[in-house]
Amino acid sequence: MALNVVIGAQWGDEGKGKIIDYLSEKSDYVIRFHGGNNAGHTVINKFGKFALHLVPSGIFYPKTKVIIGNGVIVDLHVLLEEIKMLKKRGIKIKNKLFISPRCHLIMPYHKLLDSLYENAKGKGKTGTTGRGIGPTYSDKVSYNGIRIADLMSPKVFSEKLKIQLAVKNKILKALGAKQLSQANIERDFFSFREKIKAYVLEPLPLIKKTIKNNQNILLEGAQGTLLDNDWGTYPFVTGSTVLTGGINAGAGVPVDKIDNVIGVVKAYLTRVGEGPFPTELANNLGEKLKTIGGEFGATTGRPRRCGWLDIELLKFACFINGFTKLVITKLDVLDSFPEIKICTHYTLNGKKVNYYDGDANFLTKIKPVYKILKGWSSPTKGVTKYNSLPKQAKEYIKKIENLVGVKVKYISTGPKRDEIIKI
């Protein structure tokens, strides 16, 4: 049996979708354990190109089953559209997708509140995806959430909705927004209920059985370590626990069963939304990375900010998640850069400081210190053998391994499933 966890080591968009798709072949279950449709996992395989927001990326293999774990928050409209799209493109869903009844629902007022809170913050806004993520998680922790289990019983759903609307409509009114009608929400959600109920099942017995039978489980992380609600660059973070420990609370998977924690690292660094980014390249080089890397959000289409790889942040991600191996993605994007910089550490007033010594404001003051490496200036796109990589590309990989102390197991050299090196 193997229990593998895949976690984004940066600010999300590391290319986790492709890696999860690749690793899913040998997995009996692939489980999402946090986040919602703020995630956009791009998968390119023999069926075509997909941007999945809620359905776990393991869905494409005939024998792999997928679970939307209790820690995920669900926009049913988006989920049903995704299921429809997958079915239309020939992907089997029935008896393969299970949704925990404990998942909280993203309600229409959560989406409205997301943008109202962002507007209220003005220049200090987080730059959210606008999917209602923060307001849904805050209702969850303040015991105001509505769960899929509630929707399965229309009476319970209506009662809970009534209480929430009594409060939420007051807030919406105070903020100058349109108020919501119970009847309209019920009409939509009762129709969703009919379409979704076949997939709703408490997954814990399946997980226990899988562990007992020594089968393989893959936990699919979303977003990335630096967007974690506690350990990310707060308040420029997301609403969930994105770290390895999140699998326990968010999927009911015991942590003592973990075999591998795989950290996915882009060969450079990107961030969508606001917040500090010490190695950001707000110049031609950043533009070049964005263009070659196709750095536009899979969920919102927003351009991603680009910069050099930041080892200080990566070391932190390795420590906090307990990464046992790394995957480096998008190595080929650096092919035409004559010089490649790596930020090895930070200083403040001439003294060495760490990422965790301060907050988001502190990160705008530190100075990143770089090591300059010679680029390889030759194509690595589609390379599948480590020995076929140019010498400087191998040196780049070795440098990362040496600086963070974790071995690189896979290198992705293009978006397709087979454009990968296994070391």
Q: What is the largest CA-CA distance in the chain?
A: 66
Across-strand partners of 372?
341
Please give the Cα distance from 260 to 38 (Å, whole number).
26
**Which residue in 194, 198, 216 sits closest to 207, CA to CA?**
216
Helix residue ranges per DSSP H, 219-337: 246-251, 284-293, 311-321
Tell me the two tokens of residue 284: 């031609």
To the query of whether residue 345 is one of the catalytic residues in this protein, the response is no
Residue nearest to ligand IMP (CB): 273
Shortest Cβ distance from residue 40 to ligand IMP (Å)? 6
250 binds ligand IMP (CB under 6 A): no
Residue of 70, 126, 244, 279 that binds ligand IMP (CB under 6 A): 126
Residues 46-75 that bind ligand IMP (CB under 6 A): none
- Build a one-symbol-per-residue string for 1-30: x at contacts with ligand IMP by CB under 6 A, - elsewhere: ----------xxx-----------------
Of 127 and 390, CB closest to ligand IMP: 127
Rounded to the nearest 5°, which phi and psi values hold at 84? -60, -45
Least distance to ligand IMP, CB of residue 55, Å: 15
82: Cβ contacts below 8 Å, ≥ 6 apart: 52, 53, 54, 55
Amino acid letter for position 187: R
- Give me the residue label for tokens 């998977």: 253
- Residue 13 designated active-site: yes
In whole angstroms, give the CA distance from residue 423 to residue 240.
32
Q: How far is the CB of 143 from ligand IMP (least distance, A)?
A: 20
CA–CA distance, 6 with 411 (Å, rounded to integer): 15
Residue 38 binding ligand IMP, by CB under 6 A: yes
User: Comparing C-alpha atoms, which of 324, 246, 352, 224 is closest to residue 32?
Assistant: 246
> Please, which of residues 185-244 interact with ligand IMP by CB under 6 A?
222-223, 227, 236, 238-239
Specify the residue, 134 or 293, whose C-beta has the smaller distance to ligand IMP. Answer: 134
- List the interface residues with ligand IMP, window 251-280 (CB under 6 A): 272-273
Nearer to ligand IMP, 15 or 134 (CB): 134
Q: Are strands 48-52 and 41-45 parallel, antiparallel or unpaired?
A: antiparallel
Select the residue interacting with ligand IMP from 128, 136, 216, 244 (CB under 6 A).
Answer: 128
Q: For residues 190 and 296, which CB has a smaller minimum distance to ligand IMP in the complex? A: 296
- Is 406 a binder of ligand IMP (CB under 6 A)? no
133 binds ligand IMP (CB under 6 A): yes
The distance of closest approach from Cβ of residue 16 to ligand IMP in the complex, given in angstroms and rounded to an integer, is 9
Q: How far is CA 245 from CA 6, 72, 219, 225, 313, in A?
A: 12, 14, 11, 11, 18
Task: Say which of 21, 28, 41, 228 is annotated catalytic.
Answer: 41
Phi, psi (5° rounding) for residue 276?
-65, 150
Q: Is 100 one of the binding residues for ligand IMP (CB under 6 A)?
A: no
Give the active site residues: 13, 41
